[in-house]
Structure 1
Amino acid sequence: MNHSDPEALSQWDPLYLQLAEGHLRLMYLSHMYVGKMLDQHGLHHIHYGVLQVVGGNTPYSKLELPVSVSDIARTIGLTPATNTALIDRMEKMQLLERTPDASDRRVTRVRLLPKGEALLKELEDHWNRHAHELFSGVSRADLQVVQQVLNSLEGWYAQHMKEKP
């Protein structure tokens, strides 16, 4: 389909457009909901991402724990300067600490401190309660269909993230 052709655009399925708009609205609302939860702890989304990576909770890559500073930057997509400032702030909050790698002095590793472990567990527990509340009124059959749709969306995004623009 030629995306610049007005006639071709008029043939797009309105349901697809409604679903895409609904998907964007859900992403926005989910982002805002998580942001509100994190704000109660003085955190932003990126802090939660770092906690998950350092805690070994990354969905697409299994990293050696404790993770390296460069693993954090690469996994979350941060520049080295942004990554350093973020880790500095989280160290000041006593959530994590940097230590030299035992076998390679060029590598710095990052691990959760007890306060960071407790916070990550609290956030994950909150998210689990949220999931149960969110889906409790939906039948198992419908949840299986939703899961299939989510898997398809995830697959599409994963595939398109691998492609170079």
Structure 2
Amino acid sequence: MSENQDVMTALTIRLEDELFAVEASRVREILDLVPITEVPSAPSFVGGLINVRGRVVPLADLRVMFGMERPEPDEDTRIVVMEVDIDGEPTIAGILADKVHDVTDIEAASIEEAPKVGMRWRPEFVKGIGKRNGGFIIIPDMEKIFETPAGRSQAGAASEERAAS
């Protein structure tokens, strides 16, 4: 790759003890925690709705998809409101973040495909792994995460994959 190759401008967020990066161009705003309306019988991944400037927005918890603990919100918890493509349609959704860090550039040359083994997350939900300051940044594939069928839960998606094969 040449020196002028693309750079991903990303908002870095923390979930548990891991650093994640989402494309900054998709981020609409960052909110302090707001009241969440629970949706009965909704999947645990998108278990609530929030009001963003009079608009009803689904709130997703990436920690569910990545099999992480779900601690109680604290003073660092934020909601990142972003645009994701769901079935080709741009859709506004919120994701919970344990902490929002900064906007940074990740060189495309430093982004590698997620390994198929040795990861604690399902590799199909990881677009790539970037490197920064000697550490790793996980780049989730937001479209695949939001398009996962059957209630968007790990168990539901896993059982569907088994049934399909």
Range class of TM-score, shorter chain: under 0.3
TM-score if structure 2 supplies the norm length? 0.23
Of structures 1 and 2, the one with the larger relative CO (CA 8 A, separation 6+) is: 2
Which is helix-richer, 1 or 2?
1
Please say which structure displays the higher CA radius of gyration: 1
TM-score if structure 1 supplies the norm length? 0.23
